[in-house]
Structure 1
């Protein structure tokens, strides 16, 4: 009897692992692009059926005087840069966090998209960095920063990361220098906020987005270094479905 339960447990674990590994491949183009995400895998249904999908076009925001400034407690740590074939994802060591409206969210990773995924009154920025955070009870928050070449000056964090960009899909590189994501924060920390989702499959909803109103700069060389790898890797704007977009003072 004991051997039966051991075998059953092993089979269950194998099935779970196989299920985790069988999630469908997705991309930003063609038959596996954003319009098809919801049909690629039952786990991706929210991508097509959800009503709180991200990104959205920021317009018509309403001032909410009760919204507090976000407290940023970012520290410099070594990071690991991953090229997953669709994005550059930077995995950070523990220690950095934000406090937003009384909730602590720990920084998990940040990723880059060209052009920015968030539009502001229809305008996309040259590059977007989305910093993913998670609270102790599993709630997620994304701080979204838009980078433009208007000023032409380089970004200091990109200057540390870009020499280590993995050139091949499925590879990673370790950066031993102390990288501080605080270098992505604009001097003016005014933001828009709304309830959204992860912008990649499985498009999980219930994610609080904080989009900075002020862009920061990068230069042409930094943008080119990214677009050599990814000529486009952003999801189109999604229907707001009447969602309220709020702005802090």
Structure 2
């Protein structure tokens, strides 16, 4: 099946764990087939875990996170528009893959989960800015 990008959202702390460890932030990039109707179409979520790195990190991921946080602050359009979402994906990372469900009600089952095994480091100020924006 072909999947189309639907939306991006974040959770803090992470909903998924690695070896029982939660991370400060987790991004879900939701994709669906067809018209994105729950119970009818197929859904897949690409998950990325974030941890706190050095104050002076300047990577493609930190630049993309800056752009994403600016869009959240402005509440303008899709979170992924004009943001290089691929910057959060590590090409040489493994993927945890399982069949699951949505993590929010109605917790619809039949969802394909793909969680990147590589944890992406972002700056402490980016974590702080995220928390400030969500209250």
Q: Indicate the TM-score class for this superposition, using the shorter chain for normalisation.
A: 0.7 to 0.9
In structure 2, C-alpha distance between the alignment counterparts of 1:123 and 1:193, rounded to whole Å: 18
Q: May I ask how many residue pairs the two structures share in their alignment?
A: 124
- The gaps in structure 2 that reach 5 residues or longer are 35-39
User: Considering only aligned residues, what root-mean-square deviation do their CA atoms show, in Å?
Assistant: 2.1
Shift of 1:151: 4.7
Matched, 1:140 2:38: no
**Partner residue of 2:100?**
196
1:122 corresponds to which of 12, 20, 25? 20
Question: Deviation digits for residues 111-156 of structure 1, max 9, x if unmatched?
Answer: 0111111111110111100010002371000001001113552522
2:69 corresponds to which of 162, 178, 202? 162
Shift of 1:218: 0.9
How high is the TM-score relative to the length of structure 2? 0.81
The structure having more radius of gyration, on CA atoms, is 1
**Partner residue of 1:67?**
none
How high is the TM-score relative to the length of structure 1? 0.46
In structure 1, C-alpha distance between the alignment counterparts of 2:24 and 2:129, rounded to whole Å: 13
- The gaps in structure 1 that reach 5 residues or longer are 1-102, 232-249
